[in-house]
Chain A
Amino acid sequence: MKTAQAPARSAAAPPLKEGPRPAGRPTAPRRPLSRRLTDQARAYAFLLGGLICFALFSWYPAIRAVIIAFQKYIPGSSPEWVGTANFTHVFHDPEFAAAWRNTFYFTLLALLIGFLVPFVTALVLNEMRHMKSFFRVVVYLPVMIPPVVSALLWKWFYDPGAGLFNEALRFLHLPTSNWTNGTSTALVSIVLVSTWANMGGTVLIYLAALQGIPGELYEAAELDGASILQRVRHVTIPQTRFIMLMLMLLQIIATMQVFTEPFVITGGGPQDSTVTVLYLIYKYAFQYNNFGGACALSVMLLVMLGLFSAAYLRLTRTDD
């Protein structure tokens, strides 16, 4: 093992980081074929477990989604090809339009609320000179509470009768709301839950980004007589624009897949006002037993999310 193949070290001290290998070093191609084959076999032995899992649970399902979308699929019996029937069936489902409308509306609201609130929070937190780590821990705490618990907790708060929110509104002599029981307020209520539960991570990332802004920029702006708001507009926002855009795309991808909150809190109601696309996929599969329709929907969602993901990856790539 260690005799013939041991790479002859060049006299110069080896570079600390892995750089281009110095010429003249005996490398793999010089080894005999049998040796290279055992090397490869060994490499693939290490890869095997991971490869099988990726093949079974990532690559195969992605291909299968597309196949089943064109099939009538009932578990246990052999599938039949039905052309685009699943797609036309899904298109004519009144819930289809509602689900996409809700998903887009939800994403829009999540962007308005879930984007602005963390940014302002991070901006204010960055100015705090005391108890910094306390604020960080507290803002991240809800992220660590299981999403199901957050959903159940807020469901209880939203209760129109004895819920905390209406009690507080009554205490302040303000008009109460139906929250998740009203068709017009249900979706907004759910956006509030998911913002509360998820904003911690976003705030922390913004905070890190804000700390990367060179202080001289603020000093220069101040010397030019810029007010605080002007400094936010002309220094902070341009300096964090890249991260803002990235988090925005991530948030779009995440919110378009929302499921737990509507499933737990409203069950898609009232009157389909909180049915999301993923929820509809779940319903097609497990309530209507229509796996073809579910996969047709999945493919549509996949294409939509794939576009956003591609944009996201492109952004992070160019930064490298």
Chain B
Amino acid sequence: MTTTIAPPPRQAPPAAPRRARKRGESAAVRTLVSPLALASRRGKTVYWTVFGLVLFLFALAFLFPVYWMITGAFKSPDELNSNPPTLAPEHWHPGNYGDAWNLMQLPDHLWNTVVQAAGAWLLQLVFCTAAAYALSKLKPVFGKVILGAILATLMVPAQALVIPKYLTVADLPFIHTSLLNNPAGIWLPAVANAFNLYLLKRFFDQIPRDVMEAAEIDGAGKLRQLWSILLPMSRPVLGVVSIFALVAVWQDFLWPLMVFSAAPDNQPISVALVQLSQDVPQTDLIGAMVIASVPMVVMFLVFQRHIIAGISAGSTKG
């Protein structure tokens, strides 16, 4: 996931620069190829040829592998290894999915993943929002220093620190408890997410102080101001942070591999898939792969508009 979340998206509530986008849908924006060239008969032929080619290549590159995975899990082991392969299963074996479900204890591992992702999401929302609120509106002394120290962690790529982080989680300083084999080992480190905290703080900064002061005059305490004023105004950024938080935990591999190395029953699905991949029939493994992908893909299809807009917004810098 690290790859291309890109620069901290400028979380201004989508306003002015969106205009061009909307029109683009109906081909009014001038791009590389001039609309004039496209209007001619030759232009139209070339366009539709290229369009067909692109459509074909996209389907081949991005949809076909997924199709192959889904149908592969419907084939019998013999058919899966047949030469040449069959494009669609000759005999459908939906039982493979059921076998994968039971053999690899997918309900348990899916549940583990849900617990880990939900906890990380909730703690991140609570602690990151509270901290971002304090840094943005409450003016703590040393607030600048703290923000600087938080932002500095963006420069230190997380993966390079997994070993000392692992040793810390294995033996917490002062209280000497271990969070290994425990969902808290996923939850608490997830809170230390400078990217999401910064997104929230940047958004809170844009909410005028006067709104908060008006609430204060009406007798609202700080917590009340956060809960009843700031949060309802921050729905868009809370959505983005929620999606990032959920996806990050669901997709992570190295960290849960370390945290749950001694407790196979508590492993999330990503780790379990790899650990069990050698011991189950290929058809079952592929079925399990499909099942593991479903939640995130469904979430993406449901929220695609927001997710894609969020990613694109990251780069509209003139």
Contact = CB atoms under 8 A, between A and B. Distances in A.
A282 B254 contact: yes
Nearest to B273: A148
B54 A306 contact: no
Interface centre among B17, B160, B169, B277 (most CB of A within 10 A): B160
Contacts of B226: 46
A124 B296 contact: no
Given A132-B24, A286-B261, A57 B192 contact: yes
B20 A42 contact: no
Interface in A46-72: 46-47, 49-51, 53-54, 56-62, 64-65, 68
B217 A6 contact: yes
Given A49-B127, A65-B163, A286-B261, A128 B168 contact: no
Interface in A140-179: 140-149, 152-154, 156-157, 161-162, 164, 167, 170-171
A281 B166 CA distance: 12
Given A58-B192, A205-B314, A47 B55 contact: no
B85 A167 contact: yes
Contacts of A133: 304, 308
Nearest to B165: A61
B163 to A, nearest CB: 5
Contacts of A257: 2, 157, 159-160
Contact of A14 (B30, B63, B80, B210): B210
B5 interface: yes
Interface residues of A, number: 128
Contact of B160 (A141, A215, A301): A301
B145 to A, nearest CB: 12
Interface stretch (A88-96, A181-189, A195-203): A195-203
Contacts of B30: 215-216, 218-219
Contacts of A298: 160-164
Contacts of A75: 167, 170-171
Interface string A199-221: 01110111111111001101100
Contacts of A254: 2-4
Interface in B110-140: 123, 126-128, 130-131, 133-135, 138-140
Contacts of A164: 68, 85
Contact of B154 (A50, A57, A141, A309): A309
A290 to B, nearest CB: 10
Contacts of B206: 17-18
B285 interface: yes
Nearest to B191: A53
Contact of B289 (A56, A149, A206, A263): A149
Contacts of B58: 135, 138-139
13 contacts: A17-B206, A54-B192, A58-B161, A125-B54, A139-B58, A141-B63, A148-B270, A167-B85, A201-B3, A205-B311, A246-B6, A260-B254, A263-B274
Interface of A: 1-2, 6-7, 14-18, 28, 39-40, 42-44, 46-47, 49-51, 53-54, 56-62, 64-65, 68, 73, 75, 123-133, 135-149, 152-154, 156-157, 161-162, 164, 167, 170-171, 196, 198, 200-202, 204-212, 215-216, 218-219, 222, 228, 231-232, 235-236, 242-243, 246-247, 250-251, 253-257, 259-260, 263-264, 278, 281-282, 285-286, 291, 294-295, 298, 301-302, 305-306, 309-310, 313, 316, 319
